[in-house]
Amino acid sequence: MRTTFGILLMLVSGLLQGQEDDFKPSFSIGITASGDYSYRWLTNDSELKAVSDFRNNDEIGIIGFHAGLRLKYQVKENSAVVIGLVFGNSGFRNNWIEDFITPSPDPNFPYRIRITYRQSHLKIPIEYVHYFRTGSGVFYVGAGLSGDF
């Protein structure tokens, strides 16, 4: 992790050298939001293959989301450093489990259930973005790190 952060720091510091005299660095703040389809697929060694196969056939994905704030520091005309704070919610659920309790002690008790598993996490992304300006638009490339808590 330290090595990756060191390489990213050297890359950013190298790209920031030779800053234009007429450019003034600036800050901007924005929001980010996205929906996603969260799904997992289990793999395992041969001893537990039956368990992973059962779970893979039983579990289905659910719709999740990510939302947060991003702070961008425009260090040069064609480069910026972005840091964010993003909340995410994702997970999966199983298919209907039939005959949950057999025989049911109460006829009104449900005989099948569906369980939804949700994971909430906080993400702190740090990214370097480089812009390539063309005649009618902008193409950009970004690279960075993200810590999930």
Q: Across the 149 residues of the chain, what is the mean pLDDT of every consecutive 10-residue run?
A: 55 50 81 89 78 83 93 92 95 76 65 83 94 88 91
Residue 149 confidence (pLDDT): 86
Bond from prior residue into 110 cis (ω within 30 degrees of 0) = no
In angstroms, the CA 128 to CA 114 distance is 43
Q: Please provide the distance, in angstroms rounded to a whole number, between the alpha carbons at the two ends of the chain.
A: 16
Q: What is the pTM of this model?
A: 0.65
Residue 54 confidence (pLDDT): 81
Own/partner long-range contacts of 133-136 (Cβ < 8 Å, ≥24 apart): 133/78
The backbone torsions φ and ψ at residue 70, rounded to the nearest 5 degrees and listed phi first, read -135, 135
Closest by Cα among 42, 39, 35, 41 to 64: 35
Residue 6 confidence (pLDDT): 56
Which residue reads 């909430």 in tokens? 120
Distances 41 to 59, 91, 113, 118, 144 between C-alpha atoms, Å: 9, 12, 22, 16, 26
Radius of gyration of the chain (CA): 24
